[in-house]
Structure 1
Amino acid sequence: MATTTIRQADFIQSVADALQYISYYHPKDFIDAVHEAYQREENPAARDAMAQILVNSRMCAQGHRPICQDTGIVTVFLKIGMDVRWDAEMGVEEMVNEGVRRAYNDPDNKLRASILRDPAGKRENTRDNTPAVIYMDLVPGDRVEVELAAKGGGSEAKSKFAMLNPSDSIVDWVLEQVPKMGAGWCPPGILGIGIGGTADKAMRLAKEACMESIDIHELKARGAENTVEALRLELFEKVNQLGIGAQGLGGLTTVLDVKIRDHPTHAANKPVAIIPNCAATRHVHFELDGDGPAELPVPALEDWPEVTWGAGGDVRRVNLDEITAEDVRQWRPGETLLVSGTVLTGRDAAHKRIQEMLARGEELPVDFRGRFIYYVGPVDPVGNEVVGPAGPTTSTRMDKFTDMMLAETGLTGMIGKAERGPEAVEAIRRHAAVYLIAVGGAAYLVSRAIRKARVVAFEDLGMEAIHEFEVEDMPVTVAVSSDGESVHRSGPRQWQERIGRIPVAVE
């Protein structure tokens, strides 16, 4: 067999192009699946969230800007043919990382650098999103196959693993774990499940499964032909019966598909891993045959459904610069607000620094009294943008700081995504504060509501610095009201009960 030569420049360019490509193009199978779920959804709040996801997706495809502000940690699976020859001075990992570096620093669509070195210590941002997580397999052939993904930290944080006993039920374990995952992984999305091998193999299988195309409806139509397919169908039905719904608001669709890969395992073991893929599902597959960089197909705009989003006439409009405690007490869980005025931003690193400053008796660089904080790490702006895509990050990471922020800084409320834990909900109730959510997976749409932005503190933290945003008609939902009622508790419970009463359709 003839030897194929892969040139260094072609490989690097292909990686860079692919990362730019997936930052603003959803896979078509994902768009179709969300649209189908949107059309059949009966919960108005969940339907509204999916409308925002679809509108955001179309906007990103047109504007070539990131679907989500969390542009991910890069994961690459390489299958390198044994008859491939490299015309390169760099090693394969070096070439991948150079492609990542170029993609994330592309001035036309700069992506957010989220990768930190020294993770157990200083946690310093590498500033270019390197290094990637890379897996390489040597296989027969004369091609290089590349599967590449940019995995958001919010969904990755919800990964689960267990070494089950051989007699344990995989279905029971999955149904126990999914509610614990909450909404921080931004459903509706895909569950990747790995079964067998060893602990590390099961996790890799789950990650690879996440990158498969959505085909659950085709599987339902033809029926299962093996154990794995039967397990997929059972889990798809039973996970959706949990009623968690889009963004955890309650509804008919929590997962768009359940993908499973398995591997032989030791007789004493049953390793099982879950890795969810979120509403910003980003992955692509291509191969190199020595004939230049990979050519990725440009989707047609017609691939996106004609879905529009707009607030109804009865939506409450709120000026955050003028609200009173009495105003906040009137907001109810599940209610949609359009907020205007100024908000401060802050994430993990900023909250930790604020806590340390207060403990030392130091004055804070910003005044939080009577204000709202938005949990976000935005993408840098390009062109005439005020700010890049700026969707919410998972709020539960700030739970341990919530009482401190409400008690010691005078903060009135918070905006983020997903549920809050019992500790944070109790602090919100005790201080008569409020927690609002924006839609995870609609970052570009959300950023259009931001009219002005400036860094006001902790500039050295990069994307985790404290910004002041001036927003106009930013869409949010009341998630925890001032009396401690949480839509992430009531919504899924109500919809789980309702789904149980819906007659099962005959295929």
Structure 2
Amino acid sequence: MSLIRQDDLIQSVADALQYISYYHPKDFIQAVTQAWENEESPAAKDALAQILINSRMCAEGRRPICQDTGIVTVLVKVGMNVRWDASLSLEEMINEGVRRAYQHPDNVLRASVLADPAGKRQNTRDNTPAVIHTQLVPGDTVDVVVAAKGGGSEAKSKFVMLNPSDSIVDWVLKTVPTMGAGWCPPGILGIGIGGTAEKAMLLAKEACMESIDIQELKARGPRNAAEELRLELYEKVNQLGIGAQGLGGLTTVLDVKVLDYPTHAANKPVAMIPNCAATRHAHFVLDGSGVAALPAPSLDDWPQVSRSGGEARRVNLDTVTAEDVRSWKPGESLLVSGTMLTGRDAAHKRIQDMLARGEELPVDFRGKFIYYVGPVDPVRDEVVGPAGPTTATRMDKFTDMMLERTGLLGMIGKAERGPGAIEAIKKHQAVYLMAVGGAAYLVSKAIRKSRVVAFEDLGMEAIHEFVVEDMPVTVAVDAQGESVHQTGPRIWRERIGKIPVTVEPA
């Protein structure tokens, strides 16, 4: 019979969340390295290189892999013979661990959790509460899996109630292209099959926490239907040609994990949850001997990678003109320097409301670029913490307004733009540039100055002014409305030649 002390669980949760904020799992590094070595698409290969360089930098600097440090999910199995030396409930202990982790002064993590989600949506300021799933099991230990799931990948979660005779493979191949690149591929697809609707979703989330072992499975061959399904989906999803960051290429998923559970004879519940390029999860067991040990990985686990994206055009954002912007080509690599403004969902909504009331905006967007980002707070001598892009499609409904009413010249974000935003970009002869999701710390090193210039009460969603130097971006939608997120995957599907080109993103 084990005696588990309250602070041992609290500190173990806090340590695990800090650990996964800056250390990728070794299996993930190995899988991305293999994808980078095999990739033939120059744009995708450069994106993979940025992810690997960023990952090593984070391991060395102990700073977050992604500016979106996630909503915390905890899977707990409590042994029935465990005794507790605790005054707090299990959930209270876990949430105190989350609080300690996200407020750690040496590595502040971004608080993204909002209370009153259908109302005021106020930030809880410490990223609590976690989403906790608890099982009571035989034994005298406490088994814990801790994960931090980014909003961009969580937003692409899918569920369907298929008929028993329907094909899971067909549904996945139809659905993955509709997810776009906001989940930051390449990553892992977690598939949950069976049970009820909520059980299938939990199975899919649990599947995302498993180790990458698809190459070992390919080598030994499948032993059951779930493993056959994994292999088929791994091959066919990669044949879609979506590629790293949706730019078109050979690797869209690093693994497909499948968990199942008995279900009703009339049903076939299927859930799919992607895990992004900031894959973050850790497993530890408490047996009464103290705080869980989480050994630091060796830096030898990371490859020495250099970018090979070809010659990039240098752009001065302080002098760039509308004529210059119209000359940029889809897929072109740029290194941008100068002054840019930032803004996400909340800032755009406030701008919209102010313009509707005829109020003057607190900042001048004329001739400027806006970067869709919510940075991590800086520590020590940092100008800004990790500051990677957020999913651009969330700003699509504001794009025409921003281009029409503010004189904005262009936008920088993550992943594709939808039809409405592309049409607005074309109409106003503007441009959309893409930065790599999953390279937040690398991007932050290009930011030389940072200050809040408006809406300070919005926290990480406030409008900042950044001065950047050689920030790497790709022309994703040009002034003529051509999108590399449409052309890239189509070209690579044609080259791979195994999936009909009629499969298009929604």
TM over 0.5: yes
Q: What displacement does 1:325 show?
A: 1.3
1:42 to 33, 40, 52: 40
Q: What displacement does 1:500 show?
A: 1.2
1:154 alignment partner in structure 2: 152
**Structure 2: distance between partners of 1:243 and 1:363:** 46
**Structure 2: distance between partners of 1:56 and 1:259:** 25
- Report the residue type matching 1:151 in the other structure: K
List aligned pairs for 1:22-171, cutoff 5 A: 22-171=20-169
**Structure 2: distance between partners of 1:347 and 1:437:** 15
1:449 alignment partner in structure 2: 446
**Structure 1: distance between partners of 2:47 and 2:389:** 13
List aligned pairs for 1:97-246, cutoff 5 A: 97-246=95-244
**Structure 2: distance between partners of 1:326 and 1:343:** 18
Q: Establish whether residue 268 from structure 1 lines up as the match of residue 256 from structure 2.
A: no
Q: What displacement does 1:309 show?
A: 2.8
**Structure 1: distance between partners of 2:463 and 2:452:** 6
- Check 1:310–1:171 CA distance in 2 against 1; reply closer, same or farther (3 A cut): closer
1:331 to 307, 328, 332: 328
**Structure 2: distance between partners of 1:102 and 1:357:** 37
List aligned pairs for 1:221-370, cutoff 5 A: 221-309=219-307, 312=310, 314-370=311-367
For residues 64-104 of structure 1, what are the alpha-carbon distances to aligned partners after superposition, in whole Å with 9 as ceiling and x for unaligned? 00000000000000000000011000000000000000000
- Report the residue type matching 1:162 in the other structure: V
What secondary structure sits across from 1:436 in the alignment? strand
**Structure 2: distance between partners of 1:274 and 1:113:** 26
- Check 1:184–1:207 CA distance in 2 against 1; reply closer, same or farther (3 A cut): same
What secondary structure sits across from 1:355 in the alignment? helix
Q: Establish whether residue 418 from structure 1 lines up as the match of residue 415 from structure 2.
A: yes
2:469 alignment partner in structure 1: 472
2:393 alignment partner in structure 1: 396
2:502 alignment partner in structure 1: none
**Structure 2: distance between partners of 1:71 and 1:106:** 13
Of residues 107-116 and 301-310 in structure 1, the stretch that sits farther from structure 2 once superposed is 301-310
- Report the residue type matching 1:418 in the other structure: A
- Report the residue type matching 1:153 in the other structure: G
**Structure 2: distance between partners of 1:311 and 1:260:** 35
**Structure 2: distance between partners of 1:367 and 1:199:** 48
- Report the residue type matching 2:403 in the other structure: L
What secondary structure sits across from 1:86 in the alignment? strand
Q: What displacement does 1:311 show?
A: 6.0
Identity of aligned residues (%): 80
1:487 to 480, 484, 501: 484
Q: Is the 8 A contact 2:239 2:498 kept in 1?
A: no
Q: Is the 8 A contact 2:43 2:309 kept in 1?
A: no
- Check 1:342–1:310 CA distance in 2 against 1; reply closer, same or farther (3 A cut): farther
For residues 211-264 of structure 1, what are the alpha-carbon distances to aligned partners after superposition, in whole Å with 9 as ceiling and x for unaligned? 000000000001111100000000000000000000000000000000000000
- Report the residue type matching 2:418 in the other structure: G
Aligned length: 499
**Structure 2: distance between partners of 1:79 and 1:396:** 38
1:380 to 360, 377, 398: 377
**Structure 2: distance between partners of 1:497 and 1:353:** 43
Task: Report the TM-score, using the length of structure 2 for normalisation.
Answer: 0.98
Q: What displacement does 1:501 show?
A: 7.2
For residues 458-505 of structure 1, what are the alpha-carbon distances to aligned partners after superposition, in whole Å with 9 as ceiling and x for unaligned? 000000000000000000000000000000000000000001179xxx
Q: Is the 8 A contact 2:42 2:308 kept in 1?
A: no
**Structure 2: distance between partners of 1:407 and 1:310:** 37
2:402 to 395, 402, 405: 405
Q: What displacement does 1:310 show?
A: 6.4
Q: Is the 8 A contact 2:45 2:308 kept in 1?
A: no
For residues 246-298 of structure 1, what are the alpha-carbon distances to aligned partners after superposition, in whole Å with 9 as ceiling and x for unaligned? 00000000000000000000001000000000000000101000000000121
What secondary structure sits across from 1:322 in the alignment? coil
**Structure 1: distance between partners of 2:87 and 2:382:** 39
For residues 135-173 of structure 1, what are the alpha-carbon distances to aligned partners after superposition, in whole Å with 9 as ceiling and x for unaligned? 000000000000110000000000000001111100000
What value does the CA root-mean-square deviation take over the aligned residues? 0.9
- Report the residue type matching 1:431 in the other structure: H
Q: What displacement does 1:191 show?
A: 0.2
1:505 alignment partner in structure 2: none
Q: Is the 8 A contact 2:329 2:478 kept in 1?
A: yes
Q: What displacement does 1:324 show?
A: 1.0
**Structure 1: distance between partners of 2:467 and 2:459:** 19
2:459 to 442, 452, 462: 462
- Check 1:46–1:310 CA distance in 2 against 1; reply closer, same or farther (3 A cut): closer
Task: Report the TM-score, using the length of structure 1 for normalisation.
Answer: 0.98
What secondary structure sits across from 1:192 in the alignment? strand
2:504 alignment partner in structure 1: none
- Report the residue type matching 1:233 in the other structure: L
For residues 325-374 of structure 1, what are the alpha-carbon distances to aligned partners after superposition, in whole Å with 9 as ceiling and x for unaligned? 11111111111000001110000000000000000000000001110000
**Structure 1: distance between partners of 2:248 and 2:35:** 13
Q: What displacement does 1:308 show?
A: 2.0
**Structure 1: distance between partners of 2:150 and 2:368:** 28
**Structure 2: distance between partners of 1:359 and 1:221:** 61
Structure 1 residue runs of 5 or longer lacking an equivalent are 503-507
For residues 374-430 of structure 1, what are the alpha-carbon distances to aligned partners after superposition, in whole Å with 9 as ceiling and x for unaligned? 000000000000000000000000000000000011111000010000000000000
What secondary structure sits across from 2:110 in the alignment? coil
Q: What displacement does 1:134 show?
A: 0.1
**Structure 1: distance between partners of 2:255 and 2:335:** 32
- Report the residue type matching 2:414 in the other structure: K
**Structure 1: distance between partners of 2:228 and 2:446:** 45
For residues 298-324 of structure 1, what are the alpha-carbon distances to aligned partners after superposition, in whole Å with 9 as ceiling and x for unaligned? 100101011123664x31000011011
